[in-house]
């Protein structure tokens, strides 16, 4: 039963971190776009326009559903890695179970 608890905790942690990353991306992108909307554009090679375009692309990727694949694949990967590393680190041994070996 302990493994299920660890898996659910790992899943919850990964889900929270993905949610925070998505929230930060949307928040920072929208703040940057709003802050630089009225900048003095210097023409075709304007770095601010390029950053605005990249911010808009990031927000479109999140809204189109391309991130859905990432959201489904990344947590599964993290859960499997957490389970594998947790099992390797916490194998039950006679010493951990406090079994006395007299032989």
Would 101 be classed as within a structural domain? no
Q: What is the pLDDT of residues 19-61, one digit of tens each?
A: 788 788 888 888 888 888 888 888 888 888 888 888 888 888 7
Overall number of domains in the chain: 1
pLDDT of the residue at 38 = 83
Mean local confidence (pLDDT), 1-28: 75
pTM: 0.50
Mean local confidence (pLDDT), 5-26: 78
Would 7 be classed as within a structural domain? yes
pLDDT of the residue at 66 = 58
pLDDT of the residue at 67 = 60
Would 91 be classed as within a structural domain? no
**DSSP-derived secondary structure for the chain:** -HHHHHHHHHHHHHHHHHHHHHHHHHHHHHHHHHHTTT----STT-HHHHHHHHHHHHHHHHHHTHHHHHHHHHHHHHHHHHHHHHHHH----TTTTT-----
Q: What is the mean pLDDT of the chain?
A: 76
- Enclosing domain of residue 51: 2-80
């Amino acid at each position: 039963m302990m493994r299920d608890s660890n898996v659910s905790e790992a899943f919850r942690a990964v889900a929270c971190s993905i949610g925070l990353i998505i929230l930060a991306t949307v928040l920072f992108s929208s703040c940057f776009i709003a802050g630089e909307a009225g900048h003095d554009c210097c023409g075709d090679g304007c770095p601010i326009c390029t950053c605005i375009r990249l911010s808009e692309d990031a927000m479109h990727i999140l809204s189109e559903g391309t991130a859905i694949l990432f959201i489904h694949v990344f947590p599964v990967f993290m859960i499997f890695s957490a389970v594998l590393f947790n099992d390797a680190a916490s194998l039950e041994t006679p010493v951990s179970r406090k079994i006395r070996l007299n032989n």
